[in-house]
C-alpha cells in the first residue's frame, strides 16, 4: 500500500462515512461492501424510496503534505479521481451499474457516487468459489458480454473510453449471470493525436505491453486485457507471460478456445482482433459451435419429416501441398466417427482427379447401378440408392471420361448437397484442389478446415505452401476453425523438431502405416483404415481431438473404453509417435 493510500485510509476512518450516518439526508449507510485504493463502497438504504438499496462509492481526493506527494502529483491524482466519477456518471450500458446521484467533494476531500446495488459476487470471488476453475463456456459467455460493453465504450464520441484494467476483482456477477464492470479508476479517453499515455496504469498480469513501454493505449489495449482475463480464468489462475513460447501458452488453456484467447494476447496491437465487435463475433461463433443441439442428431436416428434441421458441420480436409495425405486423413476421420456412432457423409468434389470411388472399390461395394451425384442427369442430387456403410454415407464424384468436359453443377447445387444428405457432419475430401471452383465455393460454407502435412519438412518452405497457409489464415473468421493433422508420423529423433516447424500445434498425429499393410489391404479390396491394428492406432491418435471437437453427449464414456485397443497393437504394422 502506498503512502497516499495509507493517508487516504486514515482520513476515511476519521472523516469518512460510517454505518448509521446519512448522506445528503437521503442515503443511510448500512454496512461496508468493500474497499480498495482510495475508495470504499457501502450498502445504503434510500430513505425516500422505501426498501430501495444502493451502493455508495466514497472516494478520497484530498491530499496531505506529510504523504510526500508533490503538488503536481496530488493535482494529477485528484484529476484522475474526478475524471473517474465524471466518466462513470455519464455512461449507460446494461453491463455497467447505473449512477443515480453524484455528491461533489466535501471539505474533508471526499466525493460520492450513488449507484445500483448489485446482489452478487465479484468474478474473482466466483472464480475462487469454483476452486479456481472455470469452464470454457462460462468464461466465453462472460467475455462475450464484455465485448458488447467494450464496443460501447470504444464507440463513444468524440473520444472513446479505454478502460485499461479488466480484471476479476473489477467485475461483478449478478444472480442472472450478467457481468457489471464496476471500477473506472484507470479509464482514459483516447486521443488520436497523442503518442503516449499521460500516466502508465494497469494491473500487472492483465495490462497490455503498450501500457508499460511508452505507447498510447487504444481500443486494442482492452482486447489484450480481455485475453489476459480469459487466460487467467481458463488456466486455473495463471497470469499470461508475453515472453512464454506460443506452444507453452497454448498448452495452458483448453484447446478449442485457445486460438481466440492467444489472438487477443498478441504483443502487437494490430495482430489482435480489429475491434471488440469482431472479438465478440468470434466468441459467439465458438459458443454456437459448442451447443449440443447442433449435433444432437448424431446420437440417434435421422430427423423425422418436417422436423427442424440444423445446418451440418462441414469439414474440408485438404493437403497443405500435394501428397501430404489429405485423403488418408479424411477417411481416418470418417472411420472414427463411424465407430463412435456419429452419422456423417464423406463427399468428394466434382473434380477431374476424383479417386474416392476407386479407393472404396465401388465395383465391389457400391449398390447395384449406383450413380454418383455429379453423373449426367443427377443434377447434384444423391442417388436414391444410398451407398451407406454403417454410420457413413459415401458420396464419391464421377471422374469425367477421357476427352469429355468436366460435369458442372448448377449454381448452388454443390452446397445444397450437404443439406440434402441430412447428416450432421459432412467431410469433404478436397485433396490438393483448393483452387477448384467447387472447393472455393465450399470454403464459404465450411465450419472447419483440416489441412494435412507430412514429415517432408522442406515442403513447408515452398512458395505455394506459404501462399496456401496465408489463404487459410485469411479464411479464419468467427464460427470457423482451422486444424492441422500431422500425417505419416514416425517414431524418430527428428519428430519433435518437425512438429516445431509446423504452422500450429497438430490436432493429432496420424501414424505412418507400413507399406506392406497398405498393399495387403488393397489386395483384399478394403481400406487400410479398416484393418484392426490400423483402426485401433488411429483411434488412439484421434480420440483426444474428437473429445474436444464434439460435444460430450456424442462420445459415451463406456463406448470409448470398449473401443480403445491395447497399445501393443500399435507396434504390429507401423511406427507411431504420440
pLDDT at 133: 82
Residues 336 and 409 in one domain: yes
Rounded CA separation 289/279 (Å)? 16
448, three cell numbers = 472447419
Annotated binding site: 57
Please name which of 407, 340, 406 lies closest in space to residue 559, comparing C-alpha atoms: 340
Mean pLDDT of the chain: 78
Q: What is the pLDDT of residues 35-46, one digit of tens each?
A: 766 788 899 999
Bigger pLDDT: 168 vs 407: 168
Span 271-287, mean pLDDT?
Answer: 90
- Cis geometry, peptide bond prior to residue 158 (ω within 30 degrees of 0): yes
Do 134 and 234 form a contact (C-beta atoms < 8 A)?
yes
CATH number at residue 125: 1.10.510.10
Report CA-CA distances (Å) from 225 to 243, 266, 550: 16, 11, 29
Q: How far does the chain reach from its first CA to its final CA, in angstroms?
A: 50
How many domains does the chain contain in total?
A: 3
Task: Spell out a b/e string for 193-219, using b for 16 or more CB atoms within 10 Å of the CB, else e.
Answer: eeeebeebbbbeebbbebbeeebbbbb
Q: Is residue 130 part of a domain?
A: yes
Q: Is residue 385 part of a domain?
A: yes
In the listed set 94, 116, 138, which residue is the last one of a domain according to the structure? 116
Residues 351 and 413 in one domain: yes
pLDDT at 386: 86
Do 275 and 568 form a contact (C-beta atoms < 8 A)?
no
Span 488-502, mean pLDDT?
Answer: 82
- Host domain of residue 431: 312-575
Annotated binding site for ATP: 57
Bigger pLDDT: 570 vs 39: 39
pLDDT at 220: 92
pLDDT at 294: 43
Q: Does 563 have pLDDT greater than 90?
A: no
Span 542-568, mean pLDDT?
Answer: 56
Residues 91 and 138 in one domain: no
Q: Does 66 have pLDDT greater than 50?
A: no
Residues 339 and 251 in one domain: no
pLDDT at 334: 93
Q: Is residue 304 part of a domain?
A: no
Q: Is residue 298 part of a domain?
A: no
Q: Is residue 538 part of a domain?
A: yes
In the listed set 99, 116, 133, which residue is the last one of a domain according to the structure? 116
Q: Does 208 have pLDDT greater than 50?
A: yes
pLDDT at 559: 42
pLDDT at 187: 45
Residues 514 and 542 in one domain: yes
Report CA-CA distances (Å) from 223 to 59, 97, 152, 202, 320: 28, 21, 13, 14, 31
Bigger pLDDT: 177 vs 157: 177
CATH number at residue 110: 3.30.200.20
In the listed set 87, 116, 145, which residue is the last one of a domain according to the structure? 116
Residues 101 and 183 in one domain: no
Q: What is the DSSP code string of 380-444?
A: TPPPSS--EETTEEEEPPPPPPTTPPPP-PPTTHHHHHHHHTT-SEEEEEEET-TTSHHHHHHHT
Residues 483 and 534 in one domain: yes
Q: How confident is the model at residue 8 (pLDDT cuts 50, 70, 90)?
A: low
H-assigned helices in 195-341: 219-234, 246-251, 258-264, 276-290, 326-339
Residues 111 and 129 in one domain: no
Residues 382 and 396 in one domain: yes
Residues 112 and 174 in one domain: no
CATH number at residue 567: 3.40.50.300
Q: Does 526 have pLDDT greater than 60?
A: yes
Q: What is the pLDDT of residues 511-521, one digit of tens each?
A: 888 777 777 77
Q: How confident is the model at residue 146 (pLDDT cuts 50, 70, 90)?
A: very high
* Max avg pLDDT among 194-208, 263-277, 417-431: 263-277
Q: Is residue 434 part of a domain?
A: yes
Q: Is residue 471 part of a domain?
A: yes
Fill in the DSSP letter of residue 510.
E
Span 335-359, mean pLDDT?
Answer: 86
Amino acid at each position: 500500500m502506498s503512502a497516499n493510500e495509507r493517508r487516504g485510509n486514515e482520513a476515511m476512518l476519521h472523516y469518512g462515512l460510517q454505518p448509521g450516518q446519512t448522506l445528503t439526508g437521503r442515503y443511510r449507510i448500512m454496512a461496508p461492501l468493500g474497499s480498495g485504493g482510495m475508495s470504499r463502497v457501502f450498502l445504503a438504504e434510500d430513505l425516500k424510496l422505501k426498501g430501495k438499496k444502493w451502493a455508495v462509492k466514497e472516494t478520497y481526493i484530498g491530499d496531505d503534505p506529510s504523504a510526500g506527494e508533490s503538488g503536481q502529483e496530488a493535482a494529477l491524482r485528484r484529476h484522475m479521481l474526478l475524471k473517474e466519477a465524471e466518466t462513470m456518471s455519464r455512461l449507460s450500458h446494461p453491463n455497467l451499474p447505473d449512477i443515480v446521484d453524484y455528491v461533489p467533494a466535501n471539505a474533508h476531500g471526499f466525493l460520492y457516487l450513488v449507484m445500483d446495488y448489485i446482489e452478487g459476487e465479484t468474478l474473482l470471488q466466483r472464480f475462487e468459489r469454483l476452486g479456481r476453475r472455470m469452464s470454457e463456456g462460462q468464461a466465453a459467455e462472460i467475455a462475450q458480454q464484455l465485448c458488447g460493453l467494450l464496443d460501447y465504450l470504444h464507440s463513444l464520441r468524440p473520444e472513446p473510453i479505454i478502460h485499461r484494467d479488466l480484471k476479476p476483482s473489477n467485475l461483478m456477477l449478478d444472480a442472472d449471470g450478467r457481468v457489471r464492470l464496476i471500477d473506472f479508476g484507470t479509464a482514459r479517453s483516447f486521443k488520436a493525436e497523442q503518442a503516449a499515455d499521460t500516466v502508465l496504469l494497469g494491473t500487472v498480469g492483465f495490462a497490455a505491453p503498450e501500457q508499460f513501454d511508452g505507447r498510447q493505449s487504444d481500443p486494442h489495449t482492452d482486447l489484450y486485457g480481455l485475453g489476459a482475463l480469459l487466460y487467467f480464468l481458463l488456466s486455473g489462475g495463471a497470469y499470461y507471460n508475453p515472453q512464454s513460447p506460443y506452444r507453452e501458452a497454448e498448452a495452458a488453456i483448453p484447446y478449442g478456445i485457445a486460438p481466440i484467447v492467444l489472438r487477443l494476447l498478441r504483443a502487437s496491437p494490430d495482430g489482435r482482433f480489429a475491434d471488440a465487435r469482431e472479438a465478440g463475433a468470434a466468441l459467439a461463433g465458438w459458443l454456437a459451435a459448442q451447443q449440443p443441439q447442433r449435433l444432437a442428431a448424431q446420437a440417434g436416428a435421422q430427423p423425422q419429416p418436417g422436423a427442424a434441421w440444423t445446418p451440418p458441420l462441414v469439414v474440408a480436409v485438404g493437403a497443405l501441398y500435394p501428397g501430404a495425405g489429405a485423403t488418408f486423413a479424411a477417411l481416418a476421420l470418417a472411420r472414427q466417427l463411424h465407430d463412435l456412432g456419429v452419422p456423417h457423409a464423406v463427399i468428394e468434389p466434382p473434380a477431374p482427379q476424383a479417386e474416392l470411388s476407386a479407393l472404396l472399390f465401388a465395383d465391389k461395394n457400391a449398390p447395384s447401378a449406383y450413380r454418383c451425384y455429379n453423373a449426367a442427369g443427377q443434377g447434384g442430387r444423391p442417388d436414391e440408392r444410398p451407398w451407406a456403410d454403417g454410420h457413413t454415407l459415401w458420396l464419391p464424384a464421377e471422374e469425367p471420361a477421357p476427352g469429355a468436359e468436366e460435369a458442372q453443377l448448377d449454381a448452388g447445387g454443390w452446397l445444397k448437397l450437404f443439406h440434402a444428405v441430412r447428416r450432421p457432419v459432412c467431410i469433404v475430401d478436397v485433396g490438393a484442389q483448393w483452387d477448384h471452383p467447387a472447393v472455393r465455393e465450399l470454403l464459404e460454407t465450411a465450419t472447419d478446415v483440416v489441412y494435412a502435412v507430412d514429415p517432408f519438412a522442406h515442403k513447408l518452405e515452398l512458395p505455394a505452401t506459404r501462399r496456401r497457409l496465408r489463404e487459410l489464415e485469411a479464411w479464419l473468421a468467427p464460427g470457423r476453425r482451422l486444424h492441422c493433422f500431422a500425417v505419416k508420423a514416425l517414431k524418430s529423433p527428428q519428430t519433435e523438431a518437425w512438429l516445431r516447424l509446423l504452422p500450429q500445434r497438430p490436432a493429432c498425429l496420424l501414424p505412418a502405416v507400413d507399406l506392406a499393410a497398405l498393399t495387403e489391404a488393397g489386395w483384399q479390396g478394403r481400406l487400410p483404415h479398416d484393418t484392426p491394428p490400423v483402426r485401433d492406432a488411429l483411434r488412439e491418435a484421434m480420440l483426444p481431438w474428437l473429445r474436444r471437437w464434439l460435444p460430450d453427449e456424442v462420445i459415451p464414456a463406456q463406448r470409448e473404453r470398449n473401443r480403445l485397443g491395447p497399445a501393443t497393437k500399435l507396434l504390429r504394422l507401423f511406427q507411431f509417435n504420440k
